[in-house]
Amino acid sequence: MSTGLKAVPPLVAAARHPAPAAGDGTTGTLAIVLKGYPRLSETFIAQEIEGLEKRGLNALLISLRHPTEDRRHPVHERIRAAVSYLPEYLWQEPLRVLRGWWAARRLPGYRAARAQWLRDWRRDPTPNRGRRWGQALVLARELPGDVGWLHAHFLHTPASVARYTAIMRGLPWSGSAHAKDIWTTPDWEIAEKLAECRWLVTCTAAGRDRLAALAPSADTVSLVYHGLDLARLPPPPLTRPARDGSQPTDPVVIVSVGRRVEKKGFEDVLQALAVLPRDLHWRFEHIGGGPLGSKLKARAARLGLADRCVWHGAREQRFVFDAYARADIFVLASKIASDGDRDGLPNVLMEAQAQGVACVATRVSAIPELIADGDSGMLVPPADPAALAAALETLIRDPQRRARLAARGSEIVRGRFSFDAGLARLAARLKAGLGGAHALHAPDAA
């Protein structure tokens, strides 16, 4: 049985509970196009959706794939919006795709959308490009009639589906760019999408600068930090043990959170741990899933670290914050992957700092926008295990320095990276867009 959207003729977008009234004349539904939902590694997107609902926006979530994770964060349970899944692979639901094409070809914008897709296909003749066109056909047919705006999270595949659908249905669209999509999407594709979307936000100054260089005007791309919803987070521990690595029975706890993928640099972390002096006693805990899990565990065993490393896998938010509470140091060795992928501003760094954990990270992408070396944490060059080991050794041996860096890091996160301020700006733009779209499509509009 299909778990997709209601077929046309369109129905009012379903939600578990009606969104609170905005009180500002906002009408219509916002369709948010996501690569996958829910995903444990994208808490920042779920927090944003919840925040938009609180500010009066009625949302419908459109997911291009159904994640295999069966765990959820508490924020996923608080979101009222219904989520609908497009066919991830077109052969899985061929009749649904055929019905999408049959209906979409009669839409006024179908020819223009098809022409755009063919131009994209000639430059990128991949199965992925074909799937996005098929998903757009389904969405163009099934999208409820009260949807007045499309917003895509990530500039690569979700934005492609939103773009083709928007052309077919004559709808405006906007987007949020984050990390991999900024650095691995071809310049021609970024430039064309920026020329067609109404606006786009991104979460780092480094990402904004790259996108702005390809945008048709300076105001197309805006910087909006994700920030943290501090009201929803547990309070940090009042005190932490003054461990210094000298006691075998009370080792310093080093924690890292992130997907086991190349850009996170976990092989560099293991290499750094392997060269720490033998008189230091520590335990490394990792939380997160990903394709490199078996390889990292094997690497730890070859380095003689297996009995000092704990691999928890992907876990829910409560478990992650329990790990922050027992951590003495948080480490994230982000680097530029072989395909150009890299982090933006990892939420886990902000979370660890908000919880009062001293952080060691790398000078990659937007991380220096958050951490000042020697002031609010320690930064080392990427892909440099020796430098990473030196920083870790310094903090393992010096609990007082850890406390100073942690206090300053917490102060910066809580003062500079405001979740509410960034979300208010985003909500205002989406409300204004929905209001304008409603006026444009109103029966008495000339």
CA 76 to centroid of chain Cα atoms: 14
pLDDT: which is higher, 419 or 180:
180
d(CA 269, CA 224): 30
**What CATH class has 232-416?**
alpha beta
* Residue 8: band (very low, low, confident or very high) from pLDDT cuts 50, 70, 90: very low
- Residue of 224, 168, 222 lying closest to 194 (CA atoms): 222
- pLDDT at 6 (0 to 100): 38
What is the end-to-end Cα distance of the chain in Å, rounded?
A: 42
- pLDDT at 2 (0 to 100): 42
* Tokens found for residue 357: 């954990």
> Any idea where the domains of the chain sit in the sequence?
29-227+419-441, 232-416
- pLDDT at 143 (0 to 100): 96
Residues with Cβ within 8 Å of 405's Cβ and at least 6 positions away in sequence, in order, are: 358, 359, 375, 376, 377, 378, 395
- pLDDT at 274 (0 to 100): 98
If you search the block for the tokens 């521990």, which residue do you land on? 237
Size of the chain, expressed as the number of residues it contains: 446
3-state SS of 333-400 is CCCCCCCCCCCCCCHHHHHHHHCCCEEEEECCCCHHHHCCECCCEEEECCCCHHHHHHHHHHHHHCHH
d(CA 143, CA 166): 10
d(CA 225, CA 201): 9
* Residue 23: band (very low, low, confident or very high) from pLDDT cuts 50, 70, 90: very low
Average pLDDT, integer, range 303-312: 98
Are 4 and 86 contacting, i.e. CB atoms less than 8 angstroms apart? yes
If you search the block for the tokens 């379903």, which residue do you land on? 14
Are 189 and 69 contacting, i.e. CB atoms less than 8 angstroms apart? no
Quickly count: other Cβ atoms within 10 Å of residue 318's Cβ. 11
- pLDDT at 26 (0 to 100): 52
pLDDT at 40 over 90: no
Helices then strands, each counted (H, E), the chain: 17, 13
DSSP-based three-state secondary structure for 31: strand
pLDDT at 5 over 90: no
Mean pLDDT of the chain: 90
d(CA 254, CA 344): 22
If you search the block for the tokens 């009260």, which residue do you land on? 146
CA 184 to centroid of chain Cα atoms: 15
If you search the block for the tokens 């705006």, which residue do you land on? 149
Q: Identify the weakest region by mean pLDDT among 135-144, 193-202, 408-417.
A: 408-417
pLDDT at 3 over 80: no
Q: What are phi and psi of 233, to 5 degrees?
A: -95, 150
Q: Quick one: 29-227+419-441 is in which CATH superfamily?
A: Glycogen Phosphorylase B; (3.40.50.2000)
CA atoms within 13 A on the CB side of 121: 14
pLDDT: which is higher, 177 or 8:
177
Q: Identify the weakest region by mean pLDDT among 11-20, 88-97, 223-232, 239-248.
A: 11-20
- pLDDT at 41 (0 to 100): 77
pLDDT at 106 over 60: yes
- pLDDT at 415 (0 to 100): 84
CA atoms within 13 A on the CB side of 280: 22
Average pLDDT, integer, range 347-376: 95
Q: What does the pLDDT look like over 314-323, one tens digit per residue?
A: 999 899 999 9
- pLDDT at 17 (0 to 100): 41
Average pLDDT, integer, range 424-430: 92
Average pLDDT, integer, range 352-367: 96
Q: What are phi and psi of 221, to 5 degrees?
A: -115, 130
The reply to whether omega before 38 is within 30° of 0 (cis) is yes
* Residue 361: band (very low, low, confident or very high) from pLDDT cuts 50, 70, 90: very high
Quickly count: other Cβ atoms within 10 Å of residue 436's Cβ. 14
pLDDT: which is higher, 216 or 344:
216
Residues with Cβ within 8 Å of 64's Cβ and at least 6 positions away in sequence, in order, are: 33, 34, 35, 36, 86, 88, 135, 157, 158, 161
Sort 235 into a burial class: Cβ within 10 Å, 0-12 / 13-18 / 19+: exposed
Q: Identify the weakest region by mean pLDDT among 67-71, 241-245, 259-263.
A: 67-71
Q: What does the pLDDT look like over 219-242, one tens digit per residue?
A: 999 998 887 888 888 999 999 999
